[in-house]
């Protein structure tokens, strides 16, 4: 009879525990990372009563959490991908906004070239020239605005990297501590469900920051990032750190506890997204914008040099840009510095380079590590290292292994400036003028153009005299033979119209007298709007800018699509995981009713035991 | 599948958030009226917009250039019209002077009138365009291109020609240098000029001259020498070699002609022994020199064969100058026509470019508004779904 009471009591205890568990589930229904818990019940061992055995009630074997390792891992991976896509999309959205915004380079370029044409229509007017200088300044400012916004994005990425690394380190510490507590709890024989939930939640938060690899070792988990950089090993957390890039101090990189730069290895999560943005979007955008600035400067200055100013001098550069950025690695042991210049913008490849001193010679590779071919020179002052349109000169002696980073166009858009202040210095006129002799009976002047504005004798007066239809002398010098119908001398080229006869003369000299009215160089300057410079002289500055905008637009569109996809995938994975681990309140309500009834029934068993015991007592009385 | 309460709630909420985000994007497009808010909305169109903006802006600028160029050409045309008027008046005066009935006094009076015309001509030749640049100075536009000293006028400009960019790769001249218009005017009949020696004693007057056989004509200078009073002549070239001889057929009666080397020279009057004529070719004579010669001869005041010869020659000069001005005027007219045609086609292109840009950039309001309506309906549905899901709970039915 005592068995009936004990059985009833075991039912009461089991129902009570189950009710506690269900209540706990209900109250934690909205707790992030909480896994539904269930009471595991088992029939208590039966008592042997001779030729039969009888059950002794119910036993609680444990409380387990609903958990599926595969689904949790999948949800965590998708979470990483989603955080990465979100971060990339947000940053790219800002970049695209920038190029779609008011600081439109094309409009500024068009305004500048309109100014050139207006000056060509009235070359002697100083106010018109002043207006052109104003448009040049506003164009340079547009470059500055765009480049400045990109610089702001770069520092925003730096802040994000630093913030993310701080969060990652905090979470790594939490996971290591939880590992310790979980191992200790298991040692006492209990299953620490809530600690396990907390650890999974910490891992999920960590995966939002950066893509992680998680693998179990006993009751602990080990966490690594990138290509095997250990973050948590058992109870030990290895903190990541941030420090300036080895070459570019303005760029914050992520370093492992061992001091290795792991920025290039980290993918996924907020940090992975920010780093991917920096390498795949921001740096190429800065380089391409710089290339456009460089191309524009180059083509305008080349034409300006072929013209004559209102004061009768040859044109000096209208724009200036800084030389390519050349950065020495922070770990260099030699005292060498390096300076770079662009010799041919058409030969630039859009690549950035690393130059390394190896066994007494400089090796050039791309940032990706591919050796560059066609490198000539040693880098000494008289023999610069030249490749792909660049020229590098070392100062001092580098130690073996010292390296330098060369960013050919990174800073061009930041540094483009209008180099002349006096509107008279705009070279709108042709520097030389040709005049046929008054008594010429054969040829007349077809045109004169400048081939080499650096020729010191360009503006010197030269008289061409024909001794026969095919031979001529210049300033009474040695006889020369006419080939075709052009004469090249002193850096100019004189085209003849008609066939010269003996005695025909031509004088070529400075156009200083005609600078007020001559607009031929202004017209030529106007034609540079569509002149190809980059990519072997095929891409104009405006085309380079349009390509840049389109490329960023493409990336932005991809990032948006990617975000949509990742959002759906992540929601699915989370839902799948929640379908196992999440609390369903309807289920909880049903369980509540079930265990309540179970409790009432067990109580009834005890009541019954009491009743039959009393019946027995009454029978004896 | 078993749905956890939290994910049911999250799904319903995601539905609402998505619908809100879609509606808000459409709203932003509607508010700006732009299809392309960001390059990522349509990267290809974004690049096309930049290219079209460049072409369209350049097109507008070309039209501005054409206006400026046309203004300058019109100013030049006006000036050339004045020149023609002056030259025509001068021509009638010179004809009057050459008819042989004028007295010395009459000639003086004509000379005075011509003097005034010369001053007027220099003034027109020095005229300026709307921007204050000299019209006929070539590229030397600031100073006066023609400098007058007495009756002599010299050219201080150069041979430059102002151009205007009218279209990509198309430049049209908006001026002609004074050297072409006024200075380098072919003398005589355009190929050679004949001048009588000032010391001629006879009454020989040079009339019509022409090249009758272009294949035999060699440009150069020749001298025609009369050896007696019967009209025998010998022509020698610059080196002194004889290139032709002959006898004037009908001297003293009216016409006679000298022909050699493909040239024919009509003369009237009687040659004296030792008289000579000088033939030159390829040496231009400026319109100012023509005026100067006329004035000097008429002021000289002795009508006769010598002055008739000079006046005839200057009349030819005036005709040549008129021809030259007409040529330039025709060119100016052709350039204005070219510019106007280009302007019209650029105007049409501009409309086309604007249309293309609008197609790429501007939002189709009707479809955007209907899209927003649809999205608003979707948002309402999502919100209602959320409320419905929220209200469903078994607990609602477990009343004590």
Burial B189-201 (b: 16+ CB within 10 A, else e): bbbbbbbbbeebb
Whether the CB-CB separation of A363 and A402 falls below 8 Å is answered with: no
Reported ipTM exceeds the 0.90 cut: no
Q: How far apart are CA A278 and CA A158, in angstroms?
A: 9
Q: Which two tokens stand for residue A3?
A: 């068995």
Q: Among all residues of chain B, which has the CA nearest to that of A98?
A: B38
Choose, out of A71, A511, A517, the residue to mutate when testing the contact with B (most B CBs < 10 Å). Answer: A517
For residue A346, CA distances in Å to A69, A342, A349, A539 come to 56, 10, 8, 9
Q: What is the pLDDT of residue A1?
A: 44
Selecting from B4, B36, B42 the residue whose C-beta is nearest the C-beta of A583 gives B4
CA dihedral A302→A308→A311→A312, nearest 10 degrees, is 130
Interhelix angle B43-98/B305-361, nearest 10 degrees: 170
SS (H, E, C) A243-267: EECCCCCCCEEEECCCCCECCCCCC
For residue B238, what are the contacts with CB-CB under 8 A and spacing of at least 6? B220, B221, B222
For residue B399, CA distances in Å to A587, A589, B396 come to 16, 12, 7
For residue A315, what are the contacts with CB-CB under 8 A and spacing of at least 6? A304, A305, A306, A307, A308, A309, A425, A426, A427, A453, A521
Q: Are strands A37-43 and A229-233 parallel, antiparallel or unpaired?
A: unpaired
Q: How far apart are CA A393 and CA A355, in angstroms?
A: 11
Look up tokens 């003849």; give the residue.
A496
DSSP A52: S
Residues of chain B with pLDDT under 70: 100, 249-255, 301, 400
Interhelix angle A126-187/A193-209, nearest 10 degrees: 160
Q: How far apart are CA A284 and CA B34, in angstroms?
A: 28
CB contact under 8 A, A433 and B39: no
Contact of A444 with chain B, judged by CB distance below 8 Å, is answered with no
Whether the CB-CB separation of B215 and B262 falls below 8 Å is answered with: yes
Selecting from A30, A520, A542 the residue whose C-beta is nearest the C-beta of B163 gives A520
For residue A61, CA distances in Å to A17, A64, A182, A191 come to 11, 10, 20, 12
CB contact under 8 A, A513 and B14: no
Q: What is the pLDDT of residue A223?
A: 96
Look up tokens 């891409």; give the residue.
A539
Q: How far apart are CA B196 and CA B204, in angstroms?
A: 8
CB contact under 8 A, B395 and A589: yes
Selecting from B43, B64, B137 the residue whose C-beta is nearest the C-beta of A554 gives B43
Residue A512, Cα to own-chain centre: how many angstroms?
51
A62 to chain B, closest Cα gap in Å = 23
Whether the CB-CB separation of B97 and B311 falls below 8 Å is answered with: yes
Contacts of B17 in chain A (CB under 8 A): none
Q: How far apart are CA A307 and CA A425, in angstroms?
A: 10
Q: How far apart are CA A600 and CA A40, in angstroms?
A: 20
- Biggest distance spanned by C-alpha atoms of chain B: 157
Choose, out of A25, A449, A553, the residue to mutate when testing the contact with B (most B CBs < 10 Å). Answer: A553
Q: Which two tokens stand for residue B31?
A: 């508010």
For residue A604, what are the contacts with CB-CB under 8 A and spacing of at least 6? none
Contact of A101 with chain B, judged by CB distance below 8 Å, is answered with no
A342 to chain B, closest Cα gap in Å = 27
Q: How far apart are CA A541 and CA A539, in angstroms?
A: 7
Contacts of A122 in chain B (CB under 8 A): 68, 131, 133
Q: Which two tokens stand for residue B388?
A: 């419905």
Helix (H) or strand (E) holding A507: strand A505-510
Q: What is the pLDDT of residue B250?
A: 60
Q: Which two tokens stand for residue B287?
A: 């319109």
Residues of chain A with pLDDT under 70: 1-2, 101-103
Q: Residue A528's closest CA among A306, A286, A349, A285? A: A306
Q: How far apart are CA A71 and CA A75, in angstroms?
A: 6
B178 to chain A, closest Cα gap in Å = 14
Q: How many CB atoms lie within 10 A of CB A126?
A: 12
Q: How far apart are CA A313 and CA B209, in angstroms?
A: 51
A529 to chain B, closest Cα gap in Å = 9
Whether the CB-CB separation of A405 and A352 falls below 8 Å is answered with: yes
Selecting from B60, B65, B142 the residue whose C-beta is nearest the C-beta of A121 gives B65
B286 to chain A, closest Cα gap in Å = 12
Rg (CA), chain A: 41
For residue range B222-270, list pLDDT tens digits in order.
Answer: 999 888 877 788 899 888 888 888 887 665 555 678 888 888 888 888 8
Q: How many CB atoms lie within 10 A of CB A607?
A: 11
Q: What is the pLDDT of residue A102?
A: 56
Selecting from B41, B61, B137 the residue whose C-beta is nearest the C-beta of A114 gives B61
Residue B393, Cα to own-chain centre: how many angstroms?
89
Contacts of B51 in chain A (CB under 8 A): 542-543, 546
Instruction: Please count the residue pairs, one from chain A and one from chain B, whose beta carbons lie less than 8 angstroms apart.
Output: 206
Q: Residue B113's closest CA among B294, B288, B286? A: B294
Selecting from A429, A435, A439 the residue whose C-beta is nearest the C-beta of B282 gives A439
Residue B277, Cα to own-chain centre: how many angstroms?
40
Q: Please count the CA atoms within 13 angstroms of the CA of B72 that sit on its side-chain side.
A: 27
Contacts of B162 in chain A (CB under 8 A): 517-519
Helix (H) or strand (E) holding A524: helix A520-527
SS3 call for A449: strand
For residue B35, CA distances in Å to A42, B40, B195 come to 67, 11, 80
Q: How far apart are CA A569 and CA A263, in angstroms?
A: 26
Q: How far apart are CA B251 and CA B246, in angstroms?
A: 13
Choose, out of A112, A121, A541, the residue to mutate when testing the contact with B (most B CBs < 10 Å). Answer: A121
Contacts of A96 in chain B (CB under 8 A): 38-40
pTM, whole model, 2 decimals? 0.86
Q: Among all residues of chain A, which has the CA nearest to that of B218?
A: A441
Supply φ then ψ for residue A393, to 5 degrees. -130, 130
First and final CA of chain A: distance in angstroms? Answer: 19
Q: How far apart are CA A244 and CA A330, in angstroms?
A: 9
Q: How far apart are CA A603 and CA A616, in angstroms?
A: 20
Selecting from B39, B133, B395 the residue whose C-beta is nearest the C-beta of A124 gives B133
For residue range B218-234, list pLDDT tens digits in order.
Answer: 888 899 988 887 778 88
Selecting from B46, B68, B140 the residue whose C-beta is nearest the C-beta of A514 gives B140
For residue A248, CA distances in Å to A252, A265, A329, A395, A571 come to 9, 18, 8, 19, 39
> Strands (DSSP E) along A198-330, which ranges?
212-217, 220-225, 229-233, 236-237, 241-244, 252-255, 319-320, 325-328
A613 to chain B, closest Cα gap in Å = 33
């Amino acid at each position: 009879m005592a068995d009936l009471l004990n059985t009833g009591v075991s039912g009461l205890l089991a129902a009570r525990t189950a009710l506690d568990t269900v209540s706990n589930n209900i109250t934690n229904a909205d707790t992030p990372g909480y896994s539904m818990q269930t009471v595991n019940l088992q029939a208590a061992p039966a008592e042997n009563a001779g030729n039969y055995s009888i059950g002794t009630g119910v036993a609680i074997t444990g409380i387990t959490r609903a958990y599926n390792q595969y689904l949790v891992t999948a949800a965590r991976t998708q979470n990483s991908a989603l955080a990465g896509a979100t971060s990339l999309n947000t940053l790219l959205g800002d970049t695209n906004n920038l190029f779609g915004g008011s600081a439109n380079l094309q409009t500024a370029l068009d305004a500048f070239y309109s100014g050139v044409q207006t000056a060509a229509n009235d070359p002697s007017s100083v106010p018109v020239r002043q207006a052109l200088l104003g448009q040049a300044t506003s164009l340079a400012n547009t470059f500055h605005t765009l480049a400045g916004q990109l610089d702001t994005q770069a520092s925003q990425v730096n802040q994000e990297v630093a913030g993310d690394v701080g969060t990652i380190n905090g979470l790594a510490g939490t996971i290591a501590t939880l590992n310790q507590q979980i191992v200790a709890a298991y040692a006492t024989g209990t299953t620490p469900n809530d600690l396990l939930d907390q650890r999974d939640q910490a891992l999920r938060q960590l995966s939002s920051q950066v893509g992680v690899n998680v693998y179990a070792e006993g009751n602990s988990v080990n966490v690594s990032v990138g290509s095997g950089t250990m973050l948590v090993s058992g109870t030990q957390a290895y903190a990541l750190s941030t420090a300036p890039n080895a070459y570019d101090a303005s760029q914050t990189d992520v370093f492992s506890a061992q001091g290795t730069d792991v920025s290039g290895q980290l993918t996924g999560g907020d940090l992975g997204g920010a780093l991917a943005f920096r390498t795949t979007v921001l740096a190429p955008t800065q380089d391409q914008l710089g290339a456009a600035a460089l191309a524009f400067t180059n083509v305008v200055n080349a034409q300006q040099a072929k013209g004559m100013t209102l004061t009768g001098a040859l044109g000096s550069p209208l724009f200036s840009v800084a030389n390519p950025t050349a950065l020495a690695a922070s770990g260099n042991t030699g005292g060498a510095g390096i300076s770079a210049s662009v010799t041919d913008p058409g030969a630039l490849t859009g690549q950035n380079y690393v130059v390394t001193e190896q066994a007494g010679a400089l090796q050039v590779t791309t940032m990706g590590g591919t050796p560059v071919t066609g490198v000539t020179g040693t880098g000494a002052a008289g023999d610069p290292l030249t490749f792909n349109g660049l020229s590098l000169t070392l100062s001092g002696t580098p130690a073996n292994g010292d390296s330098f980073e060369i960013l050919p166009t990174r800073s061009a858009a930041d540094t483009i400036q209008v180099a002349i202040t006096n509107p008279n210095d705009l070279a709108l006129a042709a520097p030389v003028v040709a005049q046929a002799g008054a008594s010429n009976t054969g040829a007349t002047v077809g045109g004169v153009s400048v081939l080499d504005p650096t020729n010191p004798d360009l503006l010197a007066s030269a008289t061409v005299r024909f001794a026969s239809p095919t031979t001529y002398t210049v300033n009474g010098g040695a006889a020369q033979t006419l080939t075709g119908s052009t004469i090249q001398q002193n850096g100019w080229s004189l085209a003849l119209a008609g066939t010269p006869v003996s005695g025909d003369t031509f004088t070529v000299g400075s156009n200083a007298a005609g600078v007020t009215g001559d607009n031929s160089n202004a017209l030529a300057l106007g034609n540079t709007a569509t002149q190809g410079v980059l990519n072997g002289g095929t891409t104009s500055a405006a085309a380079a800018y349009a390509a840049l905008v389109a490329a960023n637009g493409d990336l932005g569109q991809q990032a948006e699509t990617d975000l949509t996809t990742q959002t759906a995938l992540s929601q699915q994975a989370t839902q799948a995981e929640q379908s196992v681990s999440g609390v369903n309140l309807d289920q909880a309500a049903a369980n509540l009713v079930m265990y309540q009834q179970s409790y009432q029934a067990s109580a009834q068993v005890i009541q019954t035991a009491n009743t039959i015991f009393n019946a027995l007592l009454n029978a004896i009385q | 599948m078993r749905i956890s309460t939290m994910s049911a709630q999250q799904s319903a909420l995601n539905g609402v958030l998505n619908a809100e985000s879609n509606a808000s994007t459409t709203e932003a497009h509607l508010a700006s009226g732009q299809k392309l808010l960001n390059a990522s909305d349509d990267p290809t169109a974004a690049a096309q917009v930049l290219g079209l903006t460049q072409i369209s802006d350049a097109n507008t600028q070309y039209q501005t250039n054409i206006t400026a160029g046309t203004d300058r050409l019109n100013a030049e045309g006006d000036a050339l019209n004045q020149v023609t008027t002056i030259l025509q008046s001068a021509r009638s005066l010179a004809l009057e002077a050459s008819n042989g009935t004028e007295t010395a006094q009459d000639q003086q009076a004509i000379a005075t009138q011509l003097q005034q015309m010369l001053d007027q001509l220099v003034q027109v030749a020095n005229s300026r365009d709307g921007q204050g640049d000299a019209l006929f100075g070539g590229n030397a536009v600031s100073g006066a291109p023609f400098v007058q000293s007495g009756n002599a006028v010299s050219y201080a400009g150069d041979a430059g020609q102002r151009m205007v960019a009218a279209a990509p790769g198309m430049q049209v001249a908006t001026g002609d240098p004074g050297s072409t218009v006024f200075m380098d005017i072919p003398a005589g009949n355009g190929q050679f000029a004949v001048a009588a020696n000032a010391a001629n004693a006879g009454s020989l007057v040079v009339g019509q001259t022409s090249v009758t056989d272009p294949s035999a004509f060699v440009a150069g200078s020749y001298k025609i020498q009369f050896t007696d009073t019967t009209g025998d002549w010998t022509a020698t070239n610059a080196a002194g070699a004889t290139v032709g001889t002959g006898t004037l057929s009908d001297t003293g009666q009216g016409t006679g002609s000298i022909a050699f080397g493909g040239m024919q020279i009509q003369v009237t009057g009687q040659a004296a022994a030792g008289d000579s004529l000088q033939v030159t070719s390829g040496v231009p004579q400026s319109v100012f020199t023509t005026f100067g010669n006329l004035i000097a001869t008429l002021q000289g005041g002795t009508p006769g064969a010598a002055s008739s010869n000079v006046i005839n020659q200057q009349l030819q000069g005036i005709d040549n100058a008129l021809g030259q001005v007409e040529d330039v005027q025709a060119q100016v007219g052709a350039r204005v026509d070219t510019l106007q045609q280009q302007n019209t086609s650029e105007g049409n292109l501009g409309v086309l470019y604007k249309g293309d840009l609008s197609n790429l950039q501007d939002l189709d309001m009707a479809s955007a508004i209907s899209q927003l309506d649809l999205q608003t309906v979707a948002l309402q549905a999502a919100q209602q779904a959320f409320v419905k899901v929220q209200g469903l709970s078994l607990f609602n039915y477990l009343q004590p």
